[in-house]
Amino acid sequence: MWWLACLQGAAALGSPPPADARAASPASSRFWRGKRVFLAGASSGLGEAVAEELSARGASLVIGARRTEALARVAAACAARSGGDPPRVLGLDVCAPRAELEAKACEAAALLGGGVDVLCYCAGRGQRTRAAETSAEAHALLMATNFEGAVTLSRAVLPAMLERGEGHLCVVSSVQGFFGQPGRTSYAASKAAMIGYFDGLRAEVASSGVRVTVVSPGYIATDHAASAVGSDGTADENSKKGMLPGVLAERIADAVERGEPELIASQLDGRVAIWLRVLWPSVLFKLMEKKSS
Q: Is 219 a catalytic residue?
A: no
- In 3-state terms, what secondary structure has residue 27? coil
Q: Please tell me the distance from the alpha carbon of residue 130 to that of residue 13, in angstroms, as a whole number.
A: 29
What is the 8-class DSSP label of residue 235?
-
Q: Give, in order, the Cα–Cα distances in Å from 116 to each of 62, 64, 68.
A: 9, 13, 21
Strand partners, 62: 38, 88
Per annotation, catalytic residue among 121, 187, 197, 219: 187
β-partners of residue 243 are 220
213, β-bridge pairs: 170
Sequence-distant (6+) residues with CB within 8 A of 73 are none
Residue 181: what residue type?
Q
Q: Where are the beta strands (DSSP E) in 122-181?
A: 167-172
CA–CA separation, 138 and 169 (whole Å): 27
Cα separation, 171 vs 174, whole angstroms: 10
| Residues with catalytic roles | 187
